[in-house]
Structure 1
Amino acid sequence: MNTVLHLSSSSGPGGAERIVCALAASLDRSRYRSIVGLFRPGWLKDQCESRGLTTYVLPHDGFMQWKWMRDCYRLIKRERVDVIQAHEFDAIVHGALVAKIARVPLVATIHGKHYFWEKRRRRWAYRWVSRSAQMVAVSEDLKRFVVARTGIAEDRIQVIYNGVDEAPAADQDQASQYKRDLGLPDDELVVGVVGNLYPVKGHTHLLDAIPLVLKDCPRTTFLLIGRGELEVPLKTKAKTLGIEERVRFLGLRHDVPKLLAVMDVFAMPSLSEGLSIALLEAMAAAKPVVVTRVGGNPELVVEGETGYLVPAGEAPPLAKAILALLGDPSRAALFGSRAKQLVEERFTLRLMADRYGALYQQAISRKPARAVVAA
């Protein structure tokens, strides 16, 4: 049995952090033993431990932390680690250095475009890590982005999509009960979005679209699920627009499946995405979706079949697409059914874990000659 050390420089909550935990917990346990190494305690540590994963915190507070690398090296030797799976920039670069010292292969996952590519040293660092690596992108869009920004050869990059658990659909009685729990009448229409309240998630554009939706569908409630730095400004904007009675800011929730069950439409106004876990979970829950045409979204959503793709940063097209689904329940149900089927065929957690497992086996088989990088 091979031991995989999953390294994360972020402790969540977020899509990348959820993949760290899900991947570590979902690998074939007859072939792989997962342990987790985090730069700091927090949400991710709690999630990993709740799933029975041995989790270590290796404190880290700056670039090129030699003490961290020493502690990580000792952990690798003590736990007899066979391959390192690193997530995000700091974990990737430090993980690459300690992997070379410890002579173990590295798999590194970049979850999105973020800001890493704006600094020359970050682009150089990824090129350095990838010289002896096979890179993997979580979407074709991210693959193209990495190639363009780093100059890495296209044939050095493959795609492994994120995956989610298959979701049992709530029946009508359950959905009605969940609505009552939220204080909503059965005939209320519900539009929801799941995502941290950061500028890149585009919530401000959804707020701009809401008055346009309410003109035609005045009995609609909008659920914003997530926490973040924009909570106060977004609440202020909702009040300024006169829609505060129709917008619920629910914060970080641990009952997202229940909240998805009450939604008639899942809307995601992001300005940038890697491969959205929130979107995949909404589709797995058989929800029709309206999302922006950014990142990996067009690779998940089939326009006019499982949902609608709209331009980022524009409220009128977003409102128009939401109204098209709210006004046609039969079409919305058909889109949701097709979305669920698509996830079950191509974007399950099992498929993702199996593909990473094959990648680990490939890396271990040629140890210590090469590292493997996933983006």
Structure 2
Amino acid sequence: MIQTILFLSTSSGPGGAERVISNLATSLDPARYRAVLCLFRQGWIQERSESRGVRTHIIPTCGMTDWRWALRFRRLLDEEHVDLIHAHEFDANVQGAFVAAICGIPLVATVHGKHYFWEKCRRRLAYRWVSRQATMVAVSEDLKQFIVENVGACPERITVLYNGVDVPMPPRQAEVDACRKELRLPHGDQIVGVVGNLYPVKGHQYLIEGIPAVLKKCPNTSFIFAGRGQLEKELKDQVHRLGLDERVHFLGLRQDISTILALLDVFVLPSLSEGLSMAILEAMMAGKPVIATRVGGNPEIVLDGETGFLVPPRDSQTLADQLVTLLTNKEQAAQFAARGKRRAEGQFSLQTMVHAYQSLYDKCLRSNP
């Protein structure tokens, strides 16, 4: 019998959590599961999922106490004959758990990051309740420990399941060359890149602070930032003040991330906080050496000195030093890239993640006949 899994998302993206949801929904075993998606608002994830054949519903919400949303969501569960809800992030986890408890439907509640749920007492209490009502999942051991310490949830009630990414089809060299030409990257330059929304938590400003030190040692280096967000103007102003306009390129939201990654000599993620970074996993899967900050789940992905470098957050000088190390040592960079790719393919593949979640779904469904 095919089971219907409804994915409920707080955000419509684009972002790492949204890619996880879309990839899961479109990769479940069709002989065993049927995927449905429910969102609070229209957005990127709706377009991406519908283009892949996932039926999508939009039910706007006014927050945790929106009883009209709860009634409409309950009707949707009946109409779609939902067997299990898989919710993602705070609002979806709490609101979904409330309706699931009323309907007697099992719910998996995945937490992707440390966003705000611990700052207010009522949110901590809500998540503590969710951890008792649902099967709570953290995407890293670091995040699980954070939830235990800040929410008061029992560690036995939280399962760690790592995010996974698909093994990409390498772009054709002609596509890479065309992209380089489109971006007007000087021929012969080494390319350092970041993929991530331009939000304060991603720490882009600290990489930009370190760029002058990199250019002193490696003058033929260009930097590309793929992503959009609230700090775009501020970051561009910072680049202009430092006189880096010819060396730093802001690309906005890109749909050709595999081609962007193929351009890179080094991938950097200077985040101040992470759950489990999809961007790092995609860079490793693409065979790129990684420099990331020692925050969140990053040390669970990047093995310092083996598959990349880990640096302290907000430390522009150390970040610049490690960048120079990889840009001037091709052999070490190639070793990091090869080891990182093997690690990503073995432990953080999409297939591994899908298999883990399907096993969890089966366990929840068996315990809720």
Shift of 1:186: 3.4
Structure 2 distance, partners of 1:348, 1:106, is 24
Residue number in structure 2 paired with 1:341: 342
Structure 1 distance, partners of 2:104, 2:34, is 19
Per-residue CA deviations over 1:190-242 (Å, capped at 9, x if unaligned) read 00000100000000101101001000111111001100000001000111111
- 1:190 is the counterpart of 2:191: yes
Secondary structure in structure 1 of the residue aligned to 2:118 = helix
| Aligned partners of 2:97 and 2:134 also within 8 Å | no
> Identity across aligned pairs (percent)?
54
Shift of 1:256: 0.8
Secondary structure in structure 2 of the residue aligned to 1:16 = helix
| Aligned partners of 1:28 and 1:354 also within 8 Å | no
Residue number in structure 2 paired with 1:108: 109
Shift of 1:284: 0.3
Shift of 1:156: 2.0
Residue number in structure 1 paired with 2:227: 226
Residue number in structure 2 paired with 1:264: 265
Shift of 1:168: 3.4
Structure 1 distance, partners of 2:174, 2:334, is 17
Structure 1 distance, partners of 2:157, 2:74, is 28
Structure 1 distance, partners of 2:209, 2:192, is 14
Whichever residue aligns with residue 110 of structure 1, its letter is: V
Shift of 1:9: 1.6
- CA RMSD after TM alignment: 1.3
CA gap 1:92/1:132 in 2 versus in 1, 3 angstroms: closer
Structure 1 distance, partners of 2:154, 2:338, is 39
Shift of 1:174: 5.4
| Aligned partners of 1:168 and 1:285 also within 8 Å | no
CA gap 1:101/1:134 in 2 versus in 1, 3 angstroms: closer
| Aligned partners of 2:114 and 2:275 also within 8 Å | yes
Shift of 1:172: 5.9
Residue number in structure 1 paired with 2:169: 168
Residue number in structure 1 paired with 2:87: 86
Structure 2 distance, partners of 1:236, 1:344, is 39
Structure 2 distance, partners of 1:107, 1:253, is 31
Residue number in structure 1 paired with 2:153: 152
Residue number in structure 2 paired with 1:277: 278
Structure 1 distance, partners of 2:271, 2:12, is 22
Residue number in structure 2 paired with 1:50: 51
Residue number in structure 2 paired with 1:320: 321
Structure 1 distance, partners of 2:41, 2:226, is 25
Residue number in structure 2 paired with 1:10: 11
Whichever residue aligns with residue 340 of structure 1, its letter is: K
| Aligned partners of 1:176 and 1:186 also within 8 Å | no
Q: Tell me the TM-score normalised to structure 2 length.
A: 0.97
- 1:36 is the counterpart of 2:37: yes
Shift of 1:171: 6.6
Structure 1 distance, partners of 2:343, 2:179, is 26
Secondary structure in structure 1 of the residue aligned to 2:6 = strand
Structure 1 distance, partners of 2:182, 2:232, is 23
Which structure exhibits the higher relative contact order, with contacts defined as CA atoms closer than 8 Å and separated by 6 or more residues? Answer: 1
Shift of 1:283: 0.4
Structure 2 distance, partners of 1:177, 1:331, is 28
Which is further off, 129-138 or 142-151? 129-138
Residue number in structure 1 paired with 2:290: 289
Residue number in structure 2 paired with 1:252: 253
Structure 1 distance, partners of 2:93, 2:157, is 17
Structure 1 distance, partners of 2:138, 2:364, is 16
Secondary structure in structure 1 of the residue aligned to 2:219 = coil
Whichever residue aligns with residue 100 of structure 1, its letter is: A
Structure 1: gaps of 5 or more residues: 369-375
| Aligned partners of 2:189 and 2:220 also within 8 Å | yes
Structure 1 distance, partners of 2:195, 2:136, is 29
Residue number in structure 2 paired with 1:125: 126
Which is further off, 285-294 or 143-152? 143-152
| Aligned partners of 1:111 and 1:275 also within 8 Å | yes
Structure 1 distance, partners of 2:100, 2:238, is 48
Structure 2 distance, partners of 1:284, 1:163, is 10
Secondary structure in structure 1 of the residue aligned to 2:26 = helix
Which is further off, 263-272 or 325-334? 325-334
CA gap 1:171/1:50 in 2 versus in 1, 3 angstroms: closer
Residue number in structure 2 paired with 1:372: none
Structure 2 distance, partners of 1:17, 1:214, is 35
| Aligned partners of 1:89 and 1:110 also within 8 Å | yes
Whichever residue aligns with residue 240 of structure 1, its letter is: R
Shift of 1:20: 1.1
Whichever residue aligns with residue 122 of structure 1, its letter is: R
Secondary structure in structure 2 of the residue aligned to 1:152 = coil
CA gap 1:287/1:352 in 2 versus in 1, 3 angstroms: same
Structure 2 distance, partners of 1:261, 1:96, is 41
Whichever residue aligns with residue 139 of structure 1, its letter is: S
Structure 2 distance, partners of 1:173, 1:96, is 49
Structure 1 distance, partners of 2:188, 2:309, is 24
| Aligned partners of 2:162 and 2:348 also within 8 Å | yes
Structure 1 distance, partners of 2:192, 2:242, is 18
Structure 1 distance, partners of 2:75, 2:154, is 34
Per-residue CA deviations over 1:226-268 (Å, capped at 9, x if unaligned) read 0000000100011111112110010101011101001000011
Structure 2: gaps of 5 or more residues: none
CA gap 1:173/1:336 in 2 versus in 1, 3 angstroms: farther
| Aligned partners of 1:169 and 1:286 also within 8 Å | no
